[in-house]
Amino acid sequence: MFADSFGSMVFNEKVMRDALSSESFKRLMKIRHEGMPMDDKTLADEVAEAMKKWAVSKGATHYTHWFQPMTGATAEKHDSFLDRDSDGNPILELSGKTLLKGESDASSFPSGGMRETFEARGYTVWDPTSDAFIREDTLCIPTSFGSFDGAVLDKKTPLLRSVETLNTQAVRLLRTFGIETKYVYPSVGLEQEYFLINKEDCAKRRDLILTERTLFGAPTPKGQVLEDHYYGTIRPRVKAFMKELDDELWKVGIYSKTEHNEVAPCQHEMAPIFARSNIAVDENQLTMDIMKKVANRHGFVCLLHEKPFEGINGSGKHNNWSISTAEGENLMNPGKEPEKNIKFLLFITAVIKAVDDYQVLLRISVSSAGNDRRLGGNEAPPAIISMYLGDRLRTIIASIISGSDLETETKKAALTVKNDDRNRTSPFAFTGNKFEFRMPGSAENVSCTNYVLNTIVAESLKQFADRLEPFAGKENFESEVRKLIREELTAHERILFEGNGYSKEWVKEAKRRGLAAFKSTPEAFEHFDDEKNIELLVSHGILNKEEIKARKVIGFTKYNNIINVEARTMLLMAEKDIVPAAIKYSSELAYGIESKQALQLDVEHELKLVSDINEHVKALMLNNETLRSVLDSQPTDPMKQGMNAYKKIVPVMEEERRIVDELELLVDKNSWPYPDYTDMLYYV
């Protein structure tokens, strides 16, 4: 049954092979795998007709161009296959023209100032590299999205372009070694962390409904201190959810492989098998959507926010990245003797150089209001970019830099160190045959993370190819490669760090090394349009200058909007629920105190409790006034708004939370208006 259901709702290569003519199938595969333009109308018509027939046979009645606007979510507009022929009779139709290009209203999607509100027209363009699939009764056709005048308005287009530039530069570099390959592609495995809480608990909390995180909440006594949830026995209800999730993911061809309890109570993880980076991102967007829908059917709400609960582990989306050739060779695989694998050492050097040269751009690619709350604690890496290579590889690199006997030093290291250890605090760690970028947040669309990663590595490879091409095929080629490796490793050794990323000493050391350290999204996004970043992205054809600046505006605007929603939700909860509940409870206490005093009983502690509650209510009401004041006096410029939100609004919100969390511990549980952390995290 599993074999029959896997990929049953995907118009994949197996289906295409059966549905298309042999010539058309070969042509489409060449377009899919080698990045050729899709400009064959006859082929498009044949594919569209085959796609329609297949979809209808699976019960689909509608189709949609499924795209990823700069909201970070996915978008879709459904049209039925229903049309009429020249005689007015009903027919089912999907033309090649419709498959290739659709028109959509672009006015309400973020554009960062590239478009005016009245400029409504946008276009979706079929992405033939990603399989169409069926959700419920609708055929979903993956597409790119742009404006009437060609401006890039989506997350996918830059990613597709980055895959192509990485391919171009990697193929160039491999040719200097005398290696011919059709193409090189980046592959990605995305570990998705998430929380499951009871639907009825979520329904009672305005903060979870409006922001997907608890804006208030005193710590639960247990938390994760006993470390008993990680890899622990999965609750039966959660296991039932996971089973249906797998079933749904497998139907749409997603290789959901791993599931387990994560560190925090109620936290879990799902990990798929690697896929090409653009397909992996598509599948992750679909996974998050399916997670939420399946959770609802099991009486849960799936929380993808990076920090839904304070004091316990936040959720990330570990981005496992490597690059491979068309023939299946993983260029990040060191082999049994990495010290002798000069090609591997050159490619690993390219990644080290890329991460050091563009650490700021990498930091920007994982920046969000939610991730700001996650980075730096409870299993998340710090906000300072660094790389961990493991003891053996680090020994090899140290030997290359120092010029010592590489073989002797490597043999010594092999006897004393383990090659498979990992550093959980490292943002960018080498894990055997790939890099694990652990900074992305769980809710994010990681297209930006991957187009940045692909492009910065492509830039390193380009520089290496430029230098080595004149030496290709010559006797001194290998010596020139080794010289290049040593020079670049020496220049970029500062980005390598094997120690504890949480330590205060590392913060000081990173500063001494000149590494970037941005604690907040606004601080990072200020540098998106630095000349260095513009030159990189423009020269590789990823984005133009206007599109880069637009993304900077969108980043600031989104951050500011999220902070504003959270702050106003705080005010709503405090004034409508928390203050009335605290006053009511203190009044009940006061009535009880009067009764005890009439009996001449000691009421010293009761009086102190009432006094403490009243003091906290007073402090909360004063802080509400301050919060409302900073919300009502914001600048109009998006960049200034974002920085204002971080520097002025967030501190007042943190004080609001401190007061309320203390107040929660003073008020009787039955009088508190919301389920507490223990209720939400330790359900049966």
Q: What DSSP element (H or E) covers 492?
A: helix 477-492
- Stretch 302-306: mean pLDDT, rounded? 98
CA angle 21, 23, 28 (to 5 degrees): 95
Q: What percent of the chain has pLDDT over 90?
A: 82
pLDDT in the model for residue 96: 94
> What's the 3-state SS for 174-219?
HHHCCCCCCCEEEEEEEEEEEEEEEHHHHHCCHHHHHHCCCCCCCC
pLDDT reading at 420 higher than 60? no
Residue whose entry in the numeric block shows the structure tokens 């504003």: 564
- Stretch 324-347: mean pLDDT, rounded? 95
Q: How confident is the model over 379-411, as pLDDT tens digits?
A: 788 999 999 999 999 999 999 999 876 666 566
Structure token digits, residue 369:
């209001």
Tell me how far apart the alpha carbons of residues 263 and 24 are, in angstroms, rounded to a whole number. Answer: 50
Tell me how far apart the alpha carbons of residues 366 and 443 are, in angstroms, rounded to a whole number. Answer: 11
> What's the 3-state SS for 530-564?
CHHHHHHHHHCCCCCHHHHHHHHHHHHHHHHHHHH
Q: How confident is the model over 10-31, as pLDDT tens digits?
A: 999 999 999 999 999 999 998 8
Contacts 24+ apart (CB under 8 A), 417-422: 417/391, 417/392, 418/391, 419/390, 419/391, 419/392, 419/393, 420/390, 421/390, 421/391, 422/388, 422/390
DSSP state of 575: I
pLDDT reading at 231 higher than 50? yes
Q: Is 312 helix (H, G, I), strand (E, B) or coil?
A: coil
pLDDT reading at 458 higher than 60? yes
For residues 424, 427, 428 and 434, what is the CA-based torsion angle, rounded to 10 degrees?
Answer: 50
- Stretch 174-178: mean pLDDT, rounded? 97
Structure token digits, residue 192:
């998705």
pLDDT in the model for residue 411: 60
Choose the weakest-confidence range: 25-34, 306-315, 418-427, 665-674: 418-427
Q: How confident is the model over 651-671, as pLDDT tens digits?
A: 999 999 999 999 999 999 999
- Stretch 512-536: mean pLDDT, rounded? 96
Q: What DSSP element (H or E) covers 650?
A: helix 650-666
Give me the residues paired with residue 589 across strands.
Answer: none
- Stretch 410-431: mean pLDDT, rounded? 67
pLDDT in the model for residue 85: 84
pLDDT in the model for residue 602: 86
- Stretch 563-573: mean pLDDT, rounded? 98
Q: What DSSP element (H or E) covers 400?
A: helix 391-402
Burial class (CB in 10 A: 0-12, 13-18, 19+), 438: buried
Tell me how far apart the alpha carbons of residues 140 and 253 are, in angstroms, rounded to a whole number. Answer: 13
Tell me how far apart the alpha carbons of residues 122 and 109 are, in angstroms, rounded to a whole number. Answer: 10
Tell me how far apart the alpha carbons of residues 311 and 181 are, in angstroms, rounded to a whole number. Answer: 50
φ, ψ of residue 674 in degrees (nearest 5) = -130, 155
Residue whose entry in the numeric block shows the structure tokens 């290709």: 472
Q: How confident is the model over 460-477, as pLDDT tens digits?
A: 999 999 999 999 999 999
pLDDT in the model for residue 415: 43
> What's the 3-state SS for 335-387?
CCCHHHCHHHHHHHHHHHHHHHHCHHHHHHHCCCHHHHHHCCCCCCCCCECCE
- Stretch 105-123: mean pLDDT, rounded? 73
pLDDT in the model for residue 412: 59
Using pLDDT thresholds of 50, 70 and 90, give the confidence band for residue 114.
confident
Burial class (CB in 10 A: 0-12, 13-18, 19+), 572: middle
Tell me how far apart the alpha carbons of residues 46 and 39 are, in angstroms, rounded to a whole number. Answer: 13
pLDDT in the model for residue 32: 87
Q: What percent of the chain has pLDDT over 70?
A: 95
Q: Are 185 and 323 in contact (CB under 8 A)?
A: yes
Tell me how far apart the alpha carbons of residues 642 and 574 are, in angstroms, rounded to a whole number. Answer: 24
Query: What is the value of pTM for the model shown?
Result: 0.94
Q: How confident is the model over 239-270, as pLDDT tens digits?
A: 999 999 999 999 999 999 999 999 999 999 99
CA angle 103, 106, 107 (to 5 degrees): 140
Q: How confident is the model over 49-69, as pLDDT tens digits?
A: 999 999 999 999 999 999 999
Name the H helices within 574-603: 579-598
- Stretch 643-652: mean pLDDT, rounded? 96
pLDDT reading at 103 higher than 60? yes
Q: Are 111 and 84 in contact (CB under 8 A)?
A: no
Return the closest-CA partner of residue 682 out of 201, 304, 194: 201
